[in-house]
Chain A
Amino acid sequence: MSRSAHARPSIASLTAPVAMGYIPLGAVFGFLFVQAGGAAWLAILSSLLVYAGAAQFMMIPMLAAGASVGTIALATFVLNLRHAFYGLSLLNSMPAARGQRWYAVFGLTDETYSVLTALPPDTVAGRMALVTALNQGWWVLGTALGALAGAQAQITLAGLDFVLAALFAVLAVEQWRARADTVPIWLALAAYAVGYAIAPAQALVLAIALSLLACALRPDRPKRARKEAP
């Protein structure tokens, strides 16, 4: 992506694509949440407080099945672990004001991260909170629209929850684009096969533990120009 100091993309041109994604996806989240038996205001509350798309989609079947709060928290931890690595490349460009800084950290989703890393480095700090607020606004708006529609409608379409798998596929492609390293894919597939063979019901947790171990024990990649951020 271009980081030239001459190119100064406007806020509108940066958050418009996010709006195109967040409003409909937020609407699907709100719709599925209400259809699963949750109140519309709870869907909106989760978009205000959690604000993590994939985790919110994942919570729907877990809440519907009555999973324990600890299990839901653990699943959120695994799913959002990637976010712990995002901030590293933004460390030096955070807003000076405390409130803005904390809000920008709170709202650092995949899409907001990619918008911020596309901004010229010297303007990131000033625009971070605004970009974050606009993006969360789209997400909350979509959630509200979907939740209200879901409260009216009585359609049950089998397979609509495939959006979660599709979202994981998109995130996997973007991770792959950033690293172009096939080893983690094979590691993951092998780990899942092993986990599934040992205990199908616990396959995911086992596979995550195995992948973590394998990634940690893996010999270092040959040195080459490695980028700090995707």
Chain B
Amino acid sequence: MIDAGYAIAAILAMAAVTVALRALPFVAGRWLRRHALVRKLGDALPLSIMVLLLVHAVIGSARDNPGGLWQELLAVAIVAVLQWRTRQTLLSIAAGTAVYVLLRNA
């Protein structure tokens, strides 16, 4: 069982961090836009971080999976191709996850 007090503390901390990040451009937009470095980071960093999180999640899944890495890579490829071609987030996530769950429980 996850302790309620601990979960509430985590939820409040996550909420504070998230709203601070979302508010940053409205509070410091002028400053952010003036700085070339911020612009450069805004251009490239979000994609880098998403790729890192993806790789990390895939490696985490593969570690618990005796079937090996190819199942994760196949499922990610399905998600990426579907999302690229259809832009239907739900379809991409559902199809990739369904294929992965089937492979894992086959």
Which A residues fall within an 8 A CB radius of B? 20-21, 24-25, 36-39, 42, 45-46, 49-52, 54-56, 59, 62-64, 66, 69-70, 72-73, 76-88, 91, 94, 101, 105-106, 108, 111, 157-177, 179, 181, 183-185, 187-189, 191-192, 203-204, 207-208, 211-212, 214-216, 218, 220-221, 226
Contact = CB atoms under 8 A, between A and B. Distances in A.
B61 A168 contact: no
Contacts of A56: 14
Please list the 8 inter-chain residue pairs (A to B) with the smallest Cβ-Cβ separation, ordered nearest first: A87-B25, A159-B104, A188-B51, A165-B57, A172-B50, A82-B46, A168-B54, A184-B47
Interface of B: 1-2, 4, 6-19, 21-26, 29, 32-33, 36-37, 40-58, 61, 64-65, 72, 75-76, 79-80, 83-84, 89-90, 92-94, 96-97, 100-101, 103-105
Contacts, number: 257
What does DSSP make chain A's interface, helix, strand, loop or mixed? helix
- Centre residue among A111, A172, A214 by max chain B CB count within 10 A: A172
6 contacts: A73-B14, A82-B49, A85-B46, A87-B23, A158-B64, A189-B51
Given A83-B18, A83-B21, A87-B23, 6 more contacts: A69-B6, A86-B22, A166-B92, A166-B93, A166-B97, A189-B55
